[in-house]
Structure 1
Amino acid sequence: MIRTNETQLVQKEDFYITKDENGNDAYKVTQINENKVKYENLQTGEVNFAEKETEEYVESERELLEMDKLISKSASEDAFDLGAVSPSASSGFTYDRTVNNSTSLTVESIALVAGILASFIGLTTGIVTAIAGFYVSQSIPKAWWKERYYGKSETDGHRVVFTEKIQYVYYKYHDYTNYINTVTTY
């Protein structure tokens, strides 16, 4: 486990920078491809990688309904989870597929774990930082999440506009139980 003292995560155009308690750049976090993230210690030059393991999966209607209830309940109780309500509850979105994911967490820094997770999903939010904080505070060695894909087609004049909605649903355990939180992107 690499112990670090980063206190801040800054999103740049195509990478993230963690800052230490003095405001100095500590790590540069860069997505290499959809399944690999590089994090480089800017003081020592040491380079490490986080790799995402994936498995495509189609959830049953029952699994979708159970998760929709959990996410909706969490969204009503947790201000961080606003907007996480399932797309199936929103007009026009249809479920496509789910991808189960995991990555090893070999660092003990909320900012660095947030940078790694944010690199895999393409954005950082307060929710990602809160999820990273949970994993670090619980000393959980691996992050587990499902990517749930939904789509919606709309006609705009003579063209069809497709909107994709992805929910990143994070869990504590390898069997995707003990729901932590959800990040939703369009």
Structure 2
Amino acid sequence: MPPRPGVGDARGGRRTRRRVHRRRPRRQRRDVAAADFFLGSFAVAVPAGGLVTGVAFPVAAPGTGAGFYEVTRKAKDFALIAAAAQLTVADGAVTDARVAVTGLTHGPVRMAAVESALVGSPPTAEAIRDAARLAGGEVLAEVNTRSPAAYRRRVLPVVVARALKSAAADLEVAP
């Protein structure tokens, strides 16, 4: 099954080591790329009777920080929209950026334009703000019953910027 547009983890034609380990009935083990594991809202690639037995992610490189920001109606509610970000910085410049949002479509979506805009520049407030503005053009928000699509499109750059700022702050306190 090919990765969905905007989702996946291909960089330069190679797949990363993010994997989910599953057991099928009759003790057959199968590893699935993390990008292919999540099929949609509350849907994952586990067959009937199957069981997730583990997950594997590469250890973050030195100089890596992560952040998350969500908008909810009330505490502990499902997010109307949320963003997760990870930045890796070396010699003062971003060498790798990962940004994903949820709440726009049936599943999480990577923000490739935002990621590309950050690589090569220092993680300053201005660079983060400029990159986050690109998030609005990447994907159309689907209609849902929780919040209007126009609202989610309008707050998307703010949510992405706040997740990125949190990731940048995490860089400063990383051991």
Give the TM-score taking structure 1 as reference length: 0.31
Higher relative strand content: 1
More helix by share: 2
With normalisation by structure 2, the TM-score equals 0.33
